[in-house]
Amino acid sequence: MAVETLRLGMGGLPEPKSLMASVRSFVYEPKAATALVILGLLLLMAIFAPLLAPYGFAEQDVTASRVQPGAEHLMGTDILGRDILSRIIYGARISLRIGFISVGIAAGVGVPTGAIAGYYGGWWDEILMRLTDAMIAFPNLIFLMGVVAVLGPGTTNVMIALGLNAFPLYARLTRGQTLSVKQRDYVSAARALGGTDLRIMARHIMPNAVQPLIVQGSLALGTAVLAESSLSFLGIGISPPTPTWGVIISEGFALIRTNPWISVAPGFFIVAFVLSVNLLGDRLRDVFDPRLRGTR
């Protein structure tokens, strides 16, 4: 225990040797391994979409409207006779990109905002947190609708909207962690030893603030993909025929009673994706935090 405390005091990141051990234990853990496989498959699917998809994502066939899943169309077709599987495969590209990039935007804006506010306190805190409050002040979906309405719909704008919508979460989490961590002895020690603010934040505060952020990030990846589907359900956001999973669900949603496969299949992919990023997030947190080993 003493050793662990010392290591934390020295910077909070695991040593290279323990990182290797972490990777090994990471893969051996069945939940994480499963999640890794699912996520890997989804990523491969997204990357090699044109090779994998049996049809084009916008290819209509008036003679094959709402065909049930079968040999010709593994996951059936939609009302316009488009192959659902192909749309899902291409959709993986856009949905995953939306997830990762919007979380990136949110963290990229939110983490520095929160760290600065928490670390410097005073007016910095007031101004940045008031700004954050103002952002949070808009109810989520209304905010998203507003941003999309002003910027115009489309993949990039939806990613920006989702990112901006989620950044206050990161800012507040980071600030809370920063406030808590900066009082600790090793931070005071680092400051006494003449560390610059930036260095202290990067070396001492951030690593300790990172766990809840990773947990939040893994959830937020899924949230972003879900939020996109909510926007599509409301008929705003990414415009068909671009096949995000959300768009496919919403186009098939009205047919849920008669042709449920159209919206069930993409829903399954969303759940699989969110499930795997969450399990991975859990595992990552455990691995990042060497103190966990031995407690379970």
Partner 1 sequence: MVGYSIRRFLGSIPVIIMVSMLAFLGQQLVPGDPILAIIGEGEFAELATGGSEALDARRKELGLDRPAILQYVSYVERLMQGDFGRSFVSREPVLDMIRVRLPISMKLNVITFMINIGMGLSLGTIAALRPGYTDFFATVWAVLGVATPNFWAAILLILVFSVKLGWLPTSGWVDPFSDPVEGFKHLILPIFALSLFGSATIMRQTRSSLLEVLREDYIQTARAKGLIERRVVIRHALKNAMLPVMTIIGLSLAGLIGGSVLIERVFAIPGVGRMAIDAANRRDFPVLQAIVLLGTFAIVGANLVTDIAYAWLDPRIKYS
Partner 2 sequence: MDESTFWTKNAGRLSRRSLLRGAAVGAAGLAGAALIGCGDDDDAAGGGAAPAATQAAGAATSAAATVADVQRGGELVYGWSYDPPNLDPHTGTSGGERQWLHMPYDKLVNTTGMGLKTPSGLLEPRLSLAESWEQLDDKTVVLNLRPNVKIWKTDEAVNADLVKWNLDKGMDPGATTRSALGSLDNVEVVDDLTVRLNQSQVSAVLLSNMTDRPGSIISRKHFEDVGALEFGRNPLGSGPYQIVDWQSEASITFEANKDHWMKDEEGRQMPYLDKFTMNIIPDTTVRVAALEAGESDLLTSPSVDYARLKEDSNLQLSEFVGSHTYQWYLNMFFPPLDNEKFRKALSLSLDRENYIKNLLKGHEPVGKGLLTPASWAWDDSIVGDEFNPAEARKLLEGSGLPESEWVLRGQPIGASLSTGDQFYEASHAQAGIKIDWAEPERGSYATRVLVGLGGDASAAAFQSTWSMRLDPDGNVGDFYQETASYNPGQHPVPFLEPLVVKARETLDIDERKAIYREIEQYSIDHVINRVTNTYAIAARFGSSRVGNIDKVFGGEGKERFYYLYNKEGAA
Q: Is residue 155 within the footprint of partner 2 (CB under 8 A)?
A: no
**Count of chain residues binding partner 1 (CB under 8 A):** 61
Q: Return the residue of 131, 239, 264, 288 that touches partner 2, per CB under 8 A.
A: 239
Q: How far is the CB of 225 from partner 2 (least distance, A)?
A: 18
Q: Return the residue of 253, 272, 278, 285 that touches partner 2, per CB under 8 A.
A: 253
**What residue 229 binds from partner 2, partner 1, none (CB within 5 to 8 A, per partner kind)?**
partner 1
Q: How far is the CB of 138 from partner 2 (least distance, A)?
A: 20
**What residue 137 binds from partner 1, partner 2, none (CB within 5 to 8 A, per partner kind)?**
partner 1
Looking at the Cβ atoms of 44 and 254, the one nearer to partner 2 is 254
d(CA 229, CA 207): 33
Q: Return the residue of 255, 264, 272, 275 that touches partner 2, per CB under 8 A.
A: 255
Q: Is residue 60 within the footprint of partner 2 (CB under 8 A)?
A: yes
Phi, psi of 241 (to 5 degrees): -85, 0
d(CA 116, CA 127): 11
Say how far residue 251 (Cα) sits from the centre of its chain: 24
Q: Is residue 21 within the footprint of partner 2 (CB under 8 A)?
A: no
Find, among 79, 52, 106, 88, the residue nearest to 246 by Cα.
Answer: 88
Q: Is residue 257 within the footprint of partner 1 (CB under 8 A)?
A: yes
Q: Is residue 65 within the footprint of partner 2 (CB under 8 A)?
A: yes
Q: How far is CA 218 from CA 51, 123, 279, 282, in A?
A: 29, 32, 8, 8
| DSSP summary character for residue 68 | P
Contacts of 47 (CB under 8 A, 6+ apart): 93
Single-letter amino acid, residue 248: I
Contact 203, 11 (CB under 8 A): yes
Q: Count the Cβ atoms, other than its own, within 10 Å of residue 104.
A: 14
Q: Is residue 197 within the footprint of partner 1 (CB under 8 A)?
A: no
Three-state DSSP class for residue 77? strand
98-127 binders of partner 1 (CB under 8 A): 126
Q: Is residue 223 within the footprint of partner 1 (CB under 8 A)?
A: yes
| DSSP summary character for residue 13 | S
Rounded to whole angstroms, the maximal C-alpha distance in the chain is 76
Residue ranges that bind partner 1, judged by CB under 8 A: 1, 5, 31, 126, 129-130, 133-134, 136-142, 145-146, 149-150, 168-169, 172-173, 176-177, 179-180, 183, 211-212, 215-216, 219, 222-223, 226, 229-230, 233-234, 246, 249, 253, 256-257, 263, 267, 270-271, 273-275, 278-279, 282, 285, 289, 291-292, 295-296
